[in-house]
């Protein structure tokens, strides 16, 4: 892989990430008092939002790639990603598993379910952490895909297409989800490699496909993944084109949220559940569900940003003490 100058940050990609994060938060706002219309909204979001996220992940992995001169560069990269992912994954997984473990009085069955976090994350008590699990698996492969892009990308693309339509039921190491989303990682890598070409795509076919996606979503619900994910990509592009000029005055905020999207994903469920618990104690909470959604979105972003800030300050102080 040839050495390249540091790439400029792409505001349009930051907008993509913010919109995708908004969909994730809306999809995680499930509560006992949610009205029926929310289930329809949630099912629509769940039909495509992870494909969008992994597309952006693949794009950023390839777009920001660093030269890999030897195998030591690879292990250095993977070591950095392991430290970034493993510690919060384990700590958050254990903390959130303690509640159901206490409810079941730490029975043998409950402990087995809790330990599934490490090798069957979707069979654990903290199911939503599967995203971090699969994302790290993608990081293991992406340096090789990027490094040998020209001779091998077609093979990886064909493999990804085959895996996306194979119904793998084995949840060991989240293999079933790896195979399900791998196609979007590859498409993101291809998009990053051909960024110049993408910038010249005419607006009309993108907007037309986005409208077609909305038409299918409204009048023909039940569009299945990964087909829904493929159609959602131009839909997200159109949304980003529309929102980017409106969000330009808030560029610093948008970039800050984008830079911390990993931490926001990790901790947003805590804020949502606390707020849902509060609303569930109010009279007629289902009538207040729109207000709950309105408050949950800023809470699910603001609370993780505060947590991230505190953790960084603590880690800095601990490091300084260790040094001095």
The CB-side HSE value for 32 (13 A sphere, CA atoms) comes to: 9
Alpha helices for 149-260 (secondary structure H): 149-164, 175-193, 195-198, 203-219, 227-247, 251-259
**Cα 199 to chain center, whole Å?**
24
Confirm whether 316 is domain-assigned. Answer: no
Count the neighbouring beta carbons within 10 Å of the beta carbon of residue 192. Answer: 23
Dihedral pair phi/psi, residue 88, rounded to 5°: -65, -35
Which residue in 256, 262, 257 sits closest to 297, CA to CA? 257
Confirm whether 283 is domain-assigned. Answer: no
Confirm whether 266 is domain-assigned. Answer: no
CA–CA distance, 139 with 147 (Å, rounded to integer) = 13
CB 174 within 8 A of CB 134: yes
Count the neighbouring beta carbons within 10 Å of the beta carbon of residue 298. Answer: 11
Tell me the pLDDT of the chain (324 aa) as tens digits: 333 445 678 999 999 999 999 999 999 999 999 999 999 999 999 999 999 999 999 999 999 988 888 889 999 999 999 988 888 899 889 998 998 999 999 999 999 999 999 999 999 999 989 999 999 999 999 999 999 999 899 999 999 999 988 878 889 999 999 999 999 999 999 999 999 888 889 999 999 999 999 999 999 887 888 899 999 999 999 999 999 999 999 999 999 999 999 999 989 999 999 999 999 999 999 999 999 999 999 999 999 999 999 988 887 777 567 655
Residue 322's pLDDT is what? 62
H/E stretch holding 61 reads helix 49-63
Number of domains in the chain: 1
Confirm whether 235 is domain-assigned. Answer: yes
CA–CA distance, 47 with 49 (Å, rounded to integer) = 7
Assign residue 224 a region (left: φ > 0; alpha: ψ between -120 and 50; beta: otherwise). Answer: beta
Confirm whether 309 is domain-assigned. Answer: no
Biggest CA–CA distance in the chain, Å, is 65
Confirm whether 193 is domain-assigned. Answer: yes
Q: What are the C-alpha distances in Å from 188 to residues 142, 163, 179?
A: 11, 16, 15
Confirm whether 230 is domain-assigned. Answer: yes
Domain span at residue 151 reads: 11-255
Torsion of CA 40, 46, 49, 55, to 10 degrees: -150
**Cα 204 to chain center, whole Å?**
28
pLDDT in tens, 136-160: 999 999 999 999 999 899 999 999 9
Confirm whether 248 is domain-assigned. Answer: yes
Is the CA virtual torsion 220, 225, 231, 235 positive or negative? positive
């Amino acid at each position: 892989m040839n050495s390249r100058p540091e790439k400029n940050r792409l505001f349009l990609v930051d907008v993509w990430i913010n919109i995708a994060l908004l969909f994730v938060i809306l999809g995680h706002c499930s509560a006992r008092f949610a009205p029926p219309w929310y289930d329809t909204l949630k099912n629509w979001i769940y039909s495509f939002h992870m494909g969008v996220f992994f597309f952006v992940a693949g794009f950023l992995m390839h777009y920001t790639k660093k030269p890999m001169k030897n195998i030591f560069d690879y292990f250095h990269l993977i070591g950095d990603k392991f430290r970034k992912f493993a510690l919060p994954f384990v700590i958050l997984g254990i903390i959130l598993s303690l509640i159901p473990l206490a409810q079941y009085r730490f029975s043998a069955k409950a402990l087995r379910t809790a330990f599934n976090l490490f090798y069957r994350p979707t069979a654990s008590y903290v199911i939503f952490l599967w995203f971090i699990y699969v994302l790290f698996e993608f990081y293991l492969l992406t340096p090789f895909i990027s490094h040998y892009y020209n001779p091998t990308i077609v093979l990886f693309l064909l493999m990804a297409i085959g895996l996306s339509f194979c119904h793998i039921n084995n949840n060991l190491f989240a293999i079933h989800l790896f195979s399900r989303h791998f196609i979007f990682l590859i498409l993101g890598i291809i998009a990053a490699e051909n960024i110049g070409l993408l910038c010249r795509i005419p607006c009309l076919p993108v907007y037309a496909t986005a409208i077609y996606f909305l038409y299918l979503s409204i009048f023909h619900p039940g569009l299945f993944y990964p087909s829904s994910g493929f159609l959602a990509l131009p839909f997200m592009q159109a949304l980003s084109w529309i929102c980017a000029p409106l969000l330009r005055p808030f560029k610093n905020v948008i970039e800050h949220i984008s830079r911390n999207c990993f931490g926001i994903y990790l901790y947003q469920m805590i804020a949502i559940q606390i707020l849902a618990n509060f609303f569930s104690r109010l009279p007629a909470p289902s009538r207040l569900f729109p207000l709950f959604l309105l408050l949950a979105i800023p809470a699910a972003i603001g609370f993780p940003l505060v947590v991230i800030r505190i953790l960084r300050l603590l880690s800095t102080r601990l490091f300084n003490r260790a040094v001095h």
